[in-house]
Chain A
Amino acid sequence: MKLKNDWPKYYKKDVVSHYCPGCGHGIVHRIVAELLEEMQVGERAICVNPAGCAVLAYLYFDIDMLESAHGRGTAMATGIKRARPDLFVFTYQGDGDLSAIGTAETIHSANRGEHITVIFINNAVYGMTGGQMAPTTLIGQETTTSPLGRNPALEGYPLHITDLVATFRGVIYAERVSLDGPAGVTRTKKAIRNAFQTQIDGLGYSIVEILSACPTNWKMSPVDSFSWIKNEMTREYTPGVLTDKRGDKK
Chain B
Amino acid sequence: MAQKTGKCTVMVKSESCKGCSLCIEFCKSGKLVLSDKLNKMGYRYAEPVEDTACTGCMICTSICPDLVIEVYDE
Contact = CB atoms under 8 A, between A and B. Distances in A.
Interface in B28-74: 41, 43, 56, 58-59, 61-67, 69-74
Contacts of A248: none
A24 B66 CA distance: 10
Given A4-B72, A5-B61, A11 B22 contact: no
Contacts, number: 73
Interface residues of B, number: 28
Interface stretch (A12-20, A45-53, A111-119): A12-20
Nearest to A34: B62
B73 A22 contact: no
Nearest to A13: B67
Contacts of B59: 182
Interface of B: 8-9, 16, 18-22, 25-26, 41, 43, 56, 58-59, 61-67, 69-74
Interface of A: 1-5, 7, 11, 14, 16-17, 19-27, 30, 181-182, 185-186, 215, 221-223, 226
10 contacts: A3-B72, A4-B58, A5-B61, A11-B67, A14-B16, A21-B19, A21-B65, A181-B63, A182-B26, A223-B22
